[in-house]
Structure 1
Amino acid sequence: MIDFTMNPEEVKRYFEKNPPPQEVAWKPWVRITDTQKFLNSCYVTIGGFKGNIEACPSWWHLKEFYQDMLEKSRQ
C-alpha cells in the first residue's frame, strides 16, 4: 500500500485532472458503473462527516480507489 499523505481536496483535484474510466471493475466483487457518481458520493459523505476523517468509511474507499487507479495508470 502507498504511504498516503493526501487530503480529500487533493484527491478530488487529482481526479478532476485525471478522470477514471466511466466504468471500473474495481475488485472481483465490486463493479463501479459510474465512477463520477461514486466519487461525488464519497466527496459529499466526507464533507458531512463529523469527527476524525480517518474514521470515515468513504475516506477509506476514496483513498483505496485513488491508490488503485494510480497503480493502474503506472502499468
Structure 2
Amino acid sequence: MRPSRSPLTRWWVAAAGVVLIGVVAFSRLYLGYHWLTDVTASLLLAIAILGLVVGVDAWRPAARRAELTRA
C-alpha cells in the first residue's frame, strides 16, 4: 500500500501540527490555566504514547508477514 500524500505534503502537515501544539501549550501558560510542569508533563506523555503507537505499528506488519510465511 502506497502513501496517498507526497512527502512534502506530509512534512507540511506535520510541521503545522507541531506549531499548533506549541501555540496551544504557550496559550495554556500565558492565560494561567496550567503550570509549566503540567504542560511539560502532558507533552512528555503525548510523546511517549506516540512512540508506543509508532512502535506497535512498525512491529505488527512484520509479525504478520512472519506469520503468513510460516503458514
The alignment's TM-score, normalised by the length of structure 1, stands at 0.32
Greater share of strand = 1
Q: Which structure is richer in relative contact order (CA contacts within 8 A, separation 6 or more)?
A: 1
Which structure has the bigger radius of gyration?
2
